[in-house]
């Protein structure tokens, strides 16, 4: 079993971590993030090193899991407020277009109407050719928004048209003709 949760977290310069009650607050140049922690998790900050441990006398399996989870959340929050997170997605298909209007991403992906997705606070859309970039400080929000964009028009399993993550490899299915000639 991993001892991941026992490793200390180095707080990078530019980030400030404070714990008030059950709320972990991380502040940096890219914004402020907050996360509620369970009561049995203890966070100790000594200088620029942060430690996560359990207050339980006999640590349960769930307690160990939550300790590692909270540690990972804190690391992601520190990285988010200092460098930020981004997901890149590409549009593939004839006539598929995207544009940014104010705070909205407008997708024209083969429907009779354009689909508009509004960015939550702290999230920014950028478009370069057929690549959409979702940027923000919160890793969870960036990933969830990227998944919502992909769900508008997931890649077609036969031709590969649709919205996919940049670098995502699809295994295309053979069509009806290939199935007819290959199975005889």
Q: Could you tell me where in the chain the CATH 3.90.930.12 domains are found?
A: 4-82, 85-165
Q: Which CATH architecture has domain 4-82?
A: Alpha-Beta Complex (3.90)
Confidence of residue 1 (pLDDT cuts 50, 70, 90): very low
Per residue in 112-147, pLDDT (tens digit) is 999 999 999 999 999 999 999 999 999 999 999 999
| Residue range 23-78, pLDDT digits in tens | 999 999 999 999 999 999 999 999 899 999 888 877 788 888 899 999 999 999 99
Fold of 85-165: Outer Surface Protein A; domain 3 (3.90.930)
- Burial of 152-184, coded b for 16+ CB within 10 Å and e otherwise, reads ebebeeeeebbbbeeeeeeeeeeeeeeeeeeee
pTM of the model: 0.86
Rounded-to-integer distance, Cα 116 and Cα 89, Å: 16
How many angstroms separate the CA atoms of 170 and 138, rounded? 28
């Amino acid at each position: 079993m991993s001892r991941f949760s026992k490793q200390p977290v180095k707080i990078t310069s530019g980030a400030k971590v404070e714990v008030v009650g059950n709320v972990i607050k991380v502040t940096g140049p890219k914004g402020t993030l907050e996360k509620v922690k369970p009561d049995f998790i203890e966070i100790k900050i000594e200088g620029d090193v942060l430690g996560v441990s359990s207050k339980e006398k006999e640590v349960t399996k769930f307690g160990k899991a939550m300790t590692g989870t909270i540690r990972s959340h804190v690391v992601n929050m520190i990285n988010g407020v200092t460098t930020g997170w981004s997901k890149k997605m590409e549009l593939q298909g004839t006539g598929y277009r995207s544009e940014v209007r104010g705070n909205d991403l407008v997708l024209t992906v083969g429907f009779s109407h354009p689909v508009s997705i509004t960015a939550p606070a702290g999230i920014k859309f950028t478009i370069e050719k057929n690549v959409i970039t979702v940027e923000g400080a919160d890793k969870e929000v960036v990933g969830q928004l990227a998944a919502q964009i992909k769900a508008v028009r997931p890649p077609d399993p036969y031709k590969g048209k649709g919205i996919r993550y940049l670098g995502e490899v699809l295994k295309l299915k053979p069509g009806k003709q290939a199935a007819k000639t290959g199975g005889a």
